[in-house]
Amino acid sequence: MANDPGLPDPDGTSVRWRIQRNAAGILGRARQLWRDQVWVRRAGYALGVLVLLYALLWVTVIRTLPSADKLLTYQPPLPTMVRGNDGEIVSSYARERRVQLRYVDFPEPLIHAFLSAEDKSFFSHGGVDITGLIGAMIDYTLKFGSGERARGGSTITQQVAKNILIGNEYSVTRKLKEMILARRIESVLTKQQILELYLNEIPLGRQSFGVQAAARAYFDKDVGDLKLHEVAFLAILPKAPETYGRAKFAEKALERRAYVLDQMVKNGWATPAEAAEAKAQPLGLVQRRAENYTADAGYFLEEVRRQLIDKFGENADDGPNSVYAGGLWVRTSLDTELQTAAQSALRTGLLRFSGGRAWSGPISKLDVSGNWQSELITSNLSIHYQDWRIGVVLERRGANNQGGDGRIGFADGSTGPLWAMPSAMKPGDVIAAAPSGGGWSVRVIPEVSGGMVVEDPQSGRVLAMQGGFDSRLGSFNRATQAARQPGSTIKPFVYATALDNGMTPASMVLDGTFCVYQGAALGQKCFRNFGNEGGSGSHTMRWGLEQSRNLMTVRIANDIGMDKVVRTIKGVGIGDYQPYLSMALGAGDTTAAKMANAYAALANHGRQHEQTLVDYVQNRDGKVIWKADNRDCNGCNMAQWDGRPMPRMKVTGRQVMDPRTAYQVVHMLEGVVVRGTALTLADLKLPLFGKTGTTSGPTNVWFAGGSPDIVSALYLGYDQPRSLGGYAQGGRIAAPIFKDFVQLTRKHWSDTPFTVPEGIRMVKIDRVSGRQVFGGTPQDYERQASIIWEAFKPNSEPTRTFRPEDQTLKDAVLEAIRKARAAKGADAGGEDVPVEEGDFVEDKGGIY
């Protein structure tokens, strides 16, 4: 109660009144001092100026500064790393080279080199080095207005603030921001954390950020393998990375490197002998080059990149898992061996077709009157085939001039004589060339192109993809983007529709003239077989597919209805076509990728999986954020077996075709390889099915097919469709490419035959007449076989033809059985074992 200012004190005076009286006295004395003392007024003015300056600084600088706490959760932009199906890294999607390391991963000599070059008092200052700051201010004052850039004077902490939080603006304001943020950073991060950020984020030239990326870019080494002279070189780069990293400034780089080594000796981080040895070493920089990954799969990887951008975005602004900043880890279905083989087989086929053809024109054109090297580099054109290189024609001379017909230049700045230039070639033409006789000779890149897709029919995973001669010549992917007419490769789906509507592989179909009336405007259209061949009478449906008879195909399509045919074609994903009879012969457009997926459904008993290139995607922390297979497997990760049945995952994919129908088609397509248009594959001695295709012109040639485990589809044709030549056929040009592919990957191909689904009965038939037979041995894999096994749905097989010689054979077999059983009965004690003719299995309906 005595402390209440409202109550009187013992002297009778209120406490509140005393406080007011004392305050008035102090204020009065302050006014007196302000009037009487000059130094008080000056101090007051100075304090006011400081407050005003701070307020101005707060409004213009401090208020807009980012929080240093952001560095605690800072996620640097990282490239996306792509792996093949074996887990090996095959590529990356990056616009900058970045590799993140922990502080413990940095070798001590590297740390000491950077501290000697940039901030020797790093571990003792609080974020700002006053001595360095004063020197920078003096240097800035002396160079003000000269256009020269003053030396930085920034500590490592200030450089972290600049590189990560505020940018590289050249101004006094930025310096103030650096200093303020540096103090804040030092309050939230340890010195080791700051140095880790610095060494991972500092730009060091050659599109490299951080010391590990720079070590790879300049020396093709990891930081742990660098020698003293190499770490000293990296330490000079923050000052001027685009200068010291160039060959023409090598002397400047050596001088600066020697300075860093001297500083390391001065700071006790290297001995004079070690520094002297390091100074004697050349720079030893490697040439700029792209990352050397294990797979040359540009078309496949570009398709993956497109899909990832659609899912996650391209840049950091698109989200935390963007392709070029999110640091994703992507597992793809790419099989590098199959990819290399597909590329080699398709290239060989393109070169084989175009062999002997004249130079067809330049890849591109450039202006060589200026900086032709820069233009060639920015064109981003190259090639990876044998010793070929992409260059630009710099000049053309007379044919008899010494030194060759002209001169060619390459992206690395080198030039050389160019021999035997075609008459149409001019300066500025970008061409392919190969070393020849001390100079270079022109190489012809095939004008014809094509695409090829290899798929696992059991899962839909794309194992390989080649969309042209070389993806470095252009990103257009003919495997997925080129819409082409598939020709006769569509026919198996016409026949599948017929099998679903009551026909069998043994059904007889007339191979004869077939005409349809198309209305008053179009009149009558008459179809012909390939090569304008006429009909040849009635044959089995199998024979019509094996020999790719157009007349039989359109007759079947017309009889069962084109609406049903196009429904089947749409159901397997080939295309959505109008119900015109020409569609039954492959007049609609599709892609190699779609055709491969459709044939995969045939090989997989009619069950089709979505075609995928990416298995799953992980974020930078290793968490799976997307996967193609989303099935749950309850109990798959139990610590130990609980004694119950093994957990089973549900079947994936869609049943797009009757399994029995799919097998019947595959069984007939095996005949295409043995006796039909894909006969070139027969000597592989593998269980293969397939179909060739040739479109009108002919403008495209196709092959689609494979084994139970690997299916492929490929085509060849000009990008601007025109005739390939009268001799061009799928069996002559496309099927041999597939054959080359199989031979290059023979270990991937199993001898296991196609499995027969439930509900199929295998019956011996006469291959020509389609009638069931009793005697003889089927010879399915013989070209001239008279008897083969044929696949039928129950109760659809033809009636057996029973010939007299069959009865003789039957009697002989029965007699042999009787004798065998009689002998068995005698061994059992002399008891006779009766044998009746009705016991013989053939009397129960035949062998199936």
State the catalytic residues.
Answer: 118, 488
Task: Report residue 74 as tokens.
Answer: 């800072």
Q: Give me the amino acid identity at 413.
A: G
Q: Is 579 helix (H, G, I), strand (E, B) or coil?
A: coil
> Locate tokens 């160039």: which residue?
246
In the chain, % helix, strand, coil (3-state, to 5) comes to: 40, 15, 40
b/e map of 538-555 (b: 16 or more CB within 10 Å)? bbbbbbbbbbbbbbbbbb
Nearest Cα to 557, choosing from 486, 489, 601, 503? 503
For residue 842, what are the CA distances in angstroms to 4, 167, 337?
123, 89, 50
Q: What is the largest CA-CA distance in the chain?
A: 151
Q: Are 457 and 446 in contact (CB under 8 A)?
A: no
- Rounded Cα distance between 729 and 285, Å, is 53
User: Around 48, how many Cα atoms within 13 Å sit in the side-chain half-sphere?
Assistant: 6
Nearest Cα to 708, choosing from 609, 600, 573? 600
- Rounded Cα distance between 311 and 327, Å, is 15
Nearest Cα to 551, choosing from 573, 522, 529? 529
For residue 307, what are the CA distances in angstroms to 123, 176, 301, 304, 314?
47, 44, 10, 5, 11
| DSSP strands (E only) in 726-818 | 761-766, 772-773, 787-792, 800-801
**Residues ≥6 apart with Cβ < 8 Å to 59:** none
Task: Report residue 540 as tokens.
Answer: 């089995």
For residue 836, what are the CA distances in angstroms to 516, 812, 826?
58, 14, 18
DSSP state of 13: -
Nearest Cα to 700, choosing from 674, 675, 719? 719
- Rounded Cα distance between 493 and 491, Å, is 5
- Rounded Cα distance between 259 and 293, Å, is 37
Residue 556 backbone dihedrals phi, psi, to 5 degrees: -60, -45
Q: Are 786 and 759 in contact (CB under 8 A)?
A: no
For residue 566, what are the CA distances in angstroms to 442, 556, 558, 569, 837?
48, 13, 12, 5, 51
Q: For the purposes of burial, counting CB atoms within 10 Å of the CB of 617, is it exposed (0-12), middle (13-18) or buried (19 or more)?
A: buried
Name the strand (E) or helix (H) holding 514: strand 514-517
Q: Are 821 and 835 in contact (CB under 8 A)?
A: yes
Check the CA dihedral 659-664-669-671 and report its sign. Answer: positive
Strand-by-strand arrangement of the 89-93 sheet: 89-93, 80-83, 329-332, 614-618, 624-627
Q: Give me the amino acid identity at 326.
A: G
For the chain, the first-to-last Cα distance in angstroms comes to 115
Between helices 228-236 and 250-266, what is the axis angle to 10°? 110
